Chains A and B, each alone.
Chain A
Amino acid sequence: MIPILAQARFPAPEFENYTLPQLQLETLVRDPIVWRVSALLLFLVVTGLCFYRWRSAKAMRLLALAGVVIFGFLFTACPCPVGMFQNLIAAFVHEHPLGFGFLLLFAIPLATALLFGRLFCAGACPLGAVQELLHWKSIQIPLPVDRALRLIPIALFLLIAVTVVAGMALPLCSLDPYLPLFLWSCSIPTIAMLVLGLFVSRPFCRYLCPYGVLLRLFALVSWKNPAITLKTCITCRLCEQGCPNGAILPPQDAPTPEEQALGVRRLTRLIAALPLALCLGGSFGWFAAPMVSAHHPAVRLLEDLEAHRTNDAVEAFETSGTPLAQLQNEVAQVRHVFDWGLPLAGVLLAGVVMAELIAENRRRKESRAYTIDPSLCFCCGRCYAACPLNRKHEENKGTAS
């Protein structure tokens, strides 16, 4: 292997009539981050108006189309707010460059979620918008299955966080199945997710998106919640059937004494099982740690070196002249991060599972109406269209004018 260095084996000839051609290398960088951030802000304001003021499902669909065009194609879909939490973690732990623009991309959708719910998911997120547009017929996923699958993003979020801390390349960016679409190419996961998305509403948003975990958390305590209808709910259940994302909570009657007793018993059992669940989660993480850390490039390189296998990475390492001790040191650090991080992530995940189970069994506030769960609502406006009261409202308006 010959080191690749410019070397004058053959001196440049002296020509009589020849001038060296100049290198034409473009230095232009497209769309600075400022435009991206301002477009996002503007778009969120319009989304908020459409959702809260005009309350129109059609407008929300149009916004999804606009979102695909603007944030998918006009600005290339990457970098997008969905992956920014990785940059933030990497900037905290490693010396990863992080500008204010990137931080704003991360924070604006979350701040919106804190105030008005997940408006970002409706159209400003190119991934969400593409799924919204390419959704044909909804297959309702049974609620327990849906809630169980919604744990995947939480696990993914924790796993990605630990991987980023361990110094691997930002993993979510290559997991994004819709990115090739915006670059006019295609891949097998893209097609699979698009076909799935035709029948299952927003499969990525609901069952994979790690940023959705944060949005869900922030929207849980949002300041303003959408109401399905501004009139008194007649509990016709049409909105619940119309919602493809399982984000509508049915009316809640006051519990009967038997129900209450059952609930209390379940709750005690759950709380008693909490330490066991946490231990289980932690040990799961502990067992998973060696398997996950084996995928780290440095760990793999060291294994290949020790087994005297030859591949590109080994060749590159041997040419670079890096001392083996340095690599061993790095690998030890990586293993350390995974050995501590994954059990911690497992404990957290178990905690979340138990918290969700407890939340299912806790006494809910009585309500006589169908309400939107803001933490799960993607603000598509389908329930507005499904509600017969809203339709009548529009008809009345039409005859009046």
Chain B
Amino acid sequence: MISTREFLRCLLGGALLAPFLWLVGKRKSRQPAFLWQIDPDKCIQCGKCETACVLGRSAVKCVHQYAACGYCLFCSGYYQDKRVKFDTAAENLRCPTDAIKRKYIEDPYFEYTIDEEACIGCGRCVKGCAAFGNGSLFLQIRQGICKHCNQCRIAEICPSHAIVRVPADTPYLFKRPPEVKT
């Protein structure tokens, strides 16, 4: 004779096993480990990535795809729309933390690099670059900083649903195929 308690215990144990059996059943469609990433084609640079991340300093950083860059003298990701002068004074620059560094290469070209320590992922430079430039700057979740939360807080509030899950073997989403390694 089996007691009510024992019966309920067996029932709950069975309920616990059921999802495993279900997962084994559809094993073929099981996807590999997933990471959070920003789809740059969907991103509208609203600036929420900067503040929504659980981390005090967001895991989202600007990434510069050098191969797509025009190396412009007057970079619209670097300079404000309403700049007074083309110099490096703070009121003329777009980046609020001075995270974009520029280096003279040859006349009239400049190389722009992102200082990752300083970048806060606000996306202002991305917006400027996309509006008037080549769109070589874009936001990405840095997998080394990301805590891989079960539910990304940025994805929760992202107005354009730009935060998607990507397989672990392709952790970054580029606008174009990644640069050919030299």
Q: Which of A107-115, A200-208, A354-362 contacts B (4 or more CB under 8 A)?
A: A107-115
A5-B175, A29-B143, A97-B34 in contact; A12/B67 too (CB < 8 A)? yes
Q: Give A60 to B137 CA distance when docked, in angstroms.
A: 52
- Chain B, residue nearest A101 (CB): B33
Residue A11 lies at the interface, judged by CB distance under 8 Å to chain B: yes
By CB atoms of chain B within 10 A, which of A6, A15, A110, A180 has the most? A6
How many residues of chain B have a CB within 8 Å of chain A?
77
Complex Cα distance, B181 from A323, in Å, reads: 40
Q: Does A25 contact B (CB under 8 A)?
A: yes
The one of B22, B140, B181 in contact with A25, judged by C-beta atoms closer than 8 angstroms, is B140
Q: Is the CB of A4 within 8 A of B178?
A: no
B residues within 8 A CB of A32?
33
Given the complex, which residues of B lie within 8 Å of A170, measured CB to CB? 150-151
Please state if A312 and B67 are interface contacts (CB–CB under 8 Å): no
Q: Are B31 and A9 in contact (CB under 8 A)?
A: no
B155 within 8 A of A: yes
In the complex, the chain A residue whose C-beta lies closest to that of B64 is: A23
Known: A27-B143, A312-B159, A316-B44. A79 touches B150 (CB 8 A): yes
From known contacts A99-B30, A170-B150, infer whether A20 and B42 are also in contact, taking CB-CB under 8 Å: no
Q: Mark B1-41, 1 if CB is under 8 A from A, else 0.
A: 00001101100110010011011000000110111000011
Question: A88 and B135: CB pair below 8 A?
Answer: no
- A49 contacts across to B, CB distance below 8 A: none
Instruction: Collect the chain B residues with CB atoms within 8 Å of residue A174's CB.
Output: 151, 153, 156
Contacts of A110 in B (CB 8 A): 12, 16
A325 at the interface (CB under 8 A from B): no
Chain A neighbourhood of B122, CB < 8 A: none
B16 lies within 8 A of A111 (CB): yes
Q: Which residues of the partner chain B approach A10 to less than 8 Å between Cβ atoms? A: 70-72, 133-134
**Pair B130/A4 contact, Cβ less than 8 Å:** yes
Q: Which residues does chain A contribute within 8 Å of B68, judged by CB atoms?
A: 6, 8, 12
Q: Does B165 contact A (CB under 8 A)?
A: yes
**B66 partner, pick from A20, A80, A97, beta carbons under 8 A:** A20
In the bound assembly, the distance between CA atoms of A176 and B151 in angstroms comes to: 11
Smallest CB gap from A169: residue in B: B156
With A170-B150, A174-B153: A5-B143 Cβ-Cβ less than 8 Å: no
Q: Are A4 and B44 in contact (CB under 8 A)?
A: yes
| Bound: A76/B149 CA distance, A | 9
B71, B147, B162: the one within 8 Å of A76 (CB): B147
Residue of A nearest to B35 (CB): A29
Binds A, one of B77-85, B88-96, B105-113: B105-113
The reply to whether the CB of A326 lies closer than 8 angstroms to some CB of chain B is no
Q: Does B100 contact A (CB under 8 A)?
A: no
Q: Given the complex, which residues of A lie within 8 Å of B118, measured CB to CB?
A: none
Inter-chain contacts of A179 with B (CB < 8 A): 54
C-alpha spacing A369/B32, complex, angstroms: 53
| Minimum CB distance partner of A90 in chain B | B151
Complex Cα spacing A19 to B41, Å: 27
* The residue from A25, A76, A92, A315 contacting B142, defined by CB atoms under 8 A apart: A25
Q: Which residues of B contact A223 (CB under 8 A)?
A: 9
Could you tell me which residues of chain A, from 42 to 84, have a CB within 8 Å of some CB in chain B? Answer: 76, 78-80, 83-84
Query: Is A311 an interface residue, CB under 8 A from the partner?
Result: yes
Chain A residues near B33 (CB-CB < 8 A): 29, 32-33, 97, 99
Determine which of B35, B40, B46, B63 lies in contact with A23 in the assembled complex, contact meaning CB atoms within 8 Å.
B63
Chain A residues with CB under 8 Å of B147's CB are 76, 78, 183
The 5 A-B pairs of least Cβ separation, nearest first, read A10-B70, A316-B160, A26-B144, A313-B159, A79-B150
25 cross-chain CB contacts under 8 A:
A4-B44, A4-B135, A5-B41, A6-B68, A6-B136, A6-B175, A6-B176, A12-B67, A12-B71, A20-B179, A23-B64, A26-B144, A29-B148, A78-B147, A87-B150, A97-B33, A98-B23, A169-B156, A173-B150, A179-B54, A183-B147, A221-B8, A315-B159, A316-B44, A316-B160
